[in-house]
Chains A and B, each alone.
Chain A
Amino acid sequence: GNSVTQMEGPVTLSEEAFLTINCTYTATGYPSLFWYVQYPGEGLQLLLKATKADDKGSNKGFEATYRKETTSFHLEKGSVQVSDSAVYFCALSLENQGGKLIFGQGTELSVKP
Chain B
Amino acid sequence: DGGITQSPKYLFRKEGQNVTLSCEQNLNHDAMYWYRQDPGQGLRLIYYSQIVNDFQKGDIAEGYSVSREKKESFPLTVTSAQKNPTAFYLCASSIGGSGKTQYFGPGTRLLVL
Contact = CB atoms under 8 A, between A and B. Distances in A.
Given A43-B106, A43-B107, A99 B96 contact: yes
B107 A99 contact: no
Contacts of A91: 42
Nearest to B101: A46
> Which of A93, A98, A102 has the most chain B CB atoms closer than 10 A to its own CB?
A98
B2 interface: no
Interface string A83-113: 0000001010111111111111110000000
A91 B45 CA distance: 12
B56 interface: yes
A89 B43 contact: yes
B45 A44 contact: no
A49 B101 contact: yes
A89 B96 CA distance: 20
Interface residues on B, range: 20 to 34
Nearest to B31: A99
Given A44-B90, A98-B31, A100-B33, A105 B96 contact: no
B48 interface: yes
Given A43-B107, A100-B33, A105 B98 contact: no
Given A43-B106, A44-B104, A101-B102, 7 more contacts: A43-B92, A43-B104, A93-B98, A98-B48, A99-B99, A99-B102, A100-B48
Interface of A: 4, 31-32, 34, 36, 41-46, 49, 51, 89, 91, 93-106
22 contacts: A31-B98, A41-B107, A43-B90, A43-B92, A43-B104, A44-B92, A46-B102, A46-B103, A51-B98, A89-B42, A95-B98, A96-B98, A98-B48, A98-B56, A98-B96, A99-B31, A99-B97, A99-B98, A100-B48, A101-B45, A103-B42, A104-B42
Interface of B: 4, 6, 31, 33, 35, 40-45, 48, 50, 56, 58, 90, 92, 94, 96-107
